[in-house]
Chains A and B, each alone.
Chain A
Amino acid sequence: MSRSDTRRRYRFLIGFLLVALVIAGGVSYLASSSPDGLDSVTLHGCQVSETSAGEQLDGTCIAQNATEHATASGPLADYSVGGAEHSVGIAGILGVIVTVLVAGGLFWLLRGRSTSDAATPDDD
């Protein structure tokens, strides 16, 4: 593999990582806070109201059966850092770092064979 190929490859990978960081660290502030499709379905039939003890569900809906998450008190629970407001971007950046290390590491260990640059004719 030529050096310019290697450089080009790294440039692409670094660019990809930067895009992920910008999305998780910045664009995440623009995300809708409305319940997603699944949550909308499980909340169907309930009125959600904020109370000091958390959200209260009045009516009949599936979400009333949901149990507290086992790691709900974790440091990054609900995409915030220690529950701090406006910390979603920091939580997102930490998530990107963890994910790239975990996924990158696992896939690197799993890779079966090393190939030279020659495009591998892959029959699936």
Chain B
Amino acid sequence: MTTTDVAMHMSDGIVNAPTSLIFGVISVLFVGLAAVRARADLDDRTAPMAGLVTTFVFAVQMINFPILPGASGHLLGGALVAILVGPWVGTLCITIVLVVQALLFADGGLTALGTNVFNMAIIGVVVGWAVARAMRGLARRSRGGLLATAFVAAFVNTVVASLGFVLEYAIGGAAGATTGTVFVLMVGFHALIGIGEGVITAATVGAVAAVRPDLVHLLRTAPRVEQPVARGEGTQA
């Protein structure tokens, strides 16, 4: 008896118990580290922002957009949170979303929580941040540069996060398809989803940057050279 429900994340039983356990342990350790490191990025101003960014990701993940006839995609959110609140806080944001979805909405298996966190909250955020960080010069130069950075970081985070599943399936996947097939399909679908992820991420980062550039982590952590931007923003009201 097999039933599937419309869900967005990995179900239980897709990879075997030892694999789930390994990725569960890795995820617990990394999220623990993130919780320690996140403290430095959280203050009275950024903590409420982090809470709302988390809530926003939860909401937008509900919106599946069509990518092919019969197939859809949804935001993963790695680059989005990394750019807005930084990689450590961002890892916690996505982890909270995944926990709420698994516990409350039966979306994403409980034993698969470790693998889902590994793919989306760790790989997605770390890769999204790495790309955004590498492009930070461009992001700070102009609004177009910021949007391009957000798009590219989001596209890459989506495709690389999908490789996380391929890795887990290769290590301890249940039967049903060869790893090669899984690899080709995952990357193919997620290259398309990555375009949607890029558009949503660029639009969101662009909107936040337009009203509160001081709340965009990627712009804020820059060495303080472009003072006029920060100043000008602070005096208007």
Contact = CB atoms under 8 A, between A and B. Distances in A.
B211 A78 contact: no
A103 B51 contact: yes
Interface in B46-77: 46-56, 58-60, 62-67, 70-74
A28 B106 contact: no
A117 B165 CA distance: 43
B5 A69 contact: yes
A35 B189 CA distance: 11
B42 A107 contact: yes
B35 interface: yes
B230 A108 contact: no
B59 A96 contact: yes
Most buried by B among A88, A112, A121, A123: A112
Interface stretch (B22-30, B89-97, B137-145, B146-154): B89-97
A78 to B, nearest CB: 5
Given A36-B71, A103-B51, A110-B35, A95 B9 contact: no
**Interface extent on A, as a size class?**
35 or more
Contacts of A104: 47-48, 51-52, 55
A34 B73 CA distance: 9
Interface in B13-55: 13-14, 35, 38-55
A30 B105 CA distance: 19
Contacts of B39: 110-112
Interface of A: 2, 4-5, 8-9, 12-13, 16-17, 19-21, 23-24, 27-28, 30-45, 48, 53-57, 60-72, 74, 76-79, 88, 91-92, 95-96, 98-100, 102-108, 110-115, 117, 119-124
